[in-house]
């Protein structure tokens, strides 16, 4: 998935990411990917659902991917975290 | 999705749900659905990833669904929560 239209979901309120998604689509892109790791995954789902149910009725979820990534923590240890990617596509 | 092979993911450690998934498959079922709402969604992803990466190499993610459900809280108010369903299928 192309990095340019990716919205990385972190610890901010879901509406921040909803606004980021809407902004991307308003700039003319047809595809936006919400990406999150660990606990932020549920927030990515919230952001996708709020975007398409409340704000942009013409976007749909075209793909969902989950997987595992290795991340290095501050103490240098490596651990596995789950990630999720939700691809949103504008139909009109 | 059939309720019988559904593992509902709540607030317990992910390993509890991994064990539930493995138990279902060992009883001969070919399909198990992990279902979670709200913050438990990230735990469902963890449980799916741990199940297939560490314990059962022959299961794969055959479908992922997200959506919104209306739930009634204790004070009688209704609110929307996101849900996620991860379908795991045994290939062998």
Domain holding A37: CATH number?
3.30.110.20
Nearest CA in chain A to B46: A82
**Is residue A2 predicted with pLDDT exceeding 60?**
no
Residue A91 gets the label, from left (phi > 0), alpha (psi -120 to 50) or beta, of alpha
- B67 at interface of A, judged by CB pairs closer than 8 A: yes
Kindly provide the b/e burial profile for residues B55-90, where b requires at least 16 CB atoms within 10 angstroms of the residue's own CB: ebeebebeebebebeeeeeeeeeeeebbbbbbbbbb
Average pLDDT over chain A reads 93
Contacts of A61 in chain B (CB under 8 A): 66
pLDDT of residue A23: 95
- Domain containing residue A65: 3-90
Query: Mean pLDDT per segment of 10 residues, for chain B of length 92 residues?
Result: 78 96 94 96 97 94 96 89 96 76
pTM metric for this prediction: 0.90
- Cα separation, B36 vs A89, whole angstroms: 24
At A4, is the pLDDT very low, low, confident or very high (cuts 50, 70, 90)?
Answer: low
- A73 at interface of B, judged by CB pairs closer than 8 A: no
**Is residue A72 predicted with pLDDT exceeding 60?**
yes
* Burial degree of A11 (CB within 10 A; 0-12, 13-18, 19+): exposed
Number of domain units in chain A: 1
The predicted model gives A49-59 an average pLDDT of: 94
| A68/B86 touch (CB, cutoff 8 Å), yes or no | no
pLDDT of residue B1: 45
**Is residue A14 predicted with pLDDT exceeding 60?**
yes
Chain B: nearest CA to A28, how far in angstroms? 25
């Amino acid at each position: 998935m192309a990095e340019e239209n990716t919205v990385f979901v972190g610890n901010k309120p879901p509406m921040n990411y909803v606004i980021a998604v809407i902004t991307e689509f308003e700039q003319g892109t047809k595809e936006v990917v919400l990406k999150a790791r660990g606990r932020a995954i549920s927030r990515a789902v919230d952001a996708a659902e709020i975007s398409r149910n409340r704000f942009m009725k013409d976007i749909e979820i075209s793909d969902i991917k989950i997987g595992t990534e290795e991340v290095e923590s501050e103490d240098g240890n490596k651990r596995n975290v789950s990630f999720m990617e939700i691809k949103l596509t504008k139909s009109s």
